[in-house]
Chains A and B, each alone.
Chain A
Amino acid sequence: GAVVSQHPSWVICKSGTSVKIECRSLDFQATTMFWYRQFPKQSLMLMATSNEGSKATYEQGVEKDKFLINHASLTLSTLTVTSAHPEDSSFYICSAIAGGPADTQYFGPGTRLTVL
Chain B
Amino acid sequence: SQQGEEDPQALSIQEGENATMNCSYKTSINNLQWYRQNSGRGLVHLILIRSNEREKHSGRLRVTLDTSKKSSSLLITASRAADTASYFCATVRGGGADGLTFGKGTHLIIQP
Q: Which residues of B contact A106 (CB under 8 A)?
A: 45
Say yes or no for A67: interface residue by CB 8 A criterion.
Answer: no
Say yes or no for B25: interface residue by CB 8 A criterion.
Answer: no
Q: How far is B97's CA from A32's CA once the two chains are assembled, in angstroms?
A: 7
**Closest approach, in angstroms, between the C-beta of A106 and any C-beta of chain B?**
8
Interface residues on A, range: 20 to 34
Say yes or no for B48: interface residue by CB 8 A criterion.
Answer: yes
Query: What is the interface size of chain B, counting residues whose CB is below 8 A from a CB of the partner?
Result: 25
Q: How far is B98's CA from A59's CA once the two chains are assembled, in angstroms?
A: 11
Say yes or no for A80: interface residue by CB 8 A criterion.
Answer: no
**Closest approach, in angstroms, between the C-beta of B28 and any C-beta of chain A?**
14
The reply to whether A109 and B92 contact each other, CB–CB distance below 8 Å, is no
Known: A99-B97, A102-B98, A102-B99. Is A108-B105 also a contact (CB below 8 A)?
no
Say yes or no for A44: interface residue by CB 8 A criterion.
Answer: yes
| A interface residues, Cβ below 8 angstroms from B | 6, 31-32, 34, 36, 42-46, 49, 51, 59, 91, 93, 95, 97, 99-110, 112
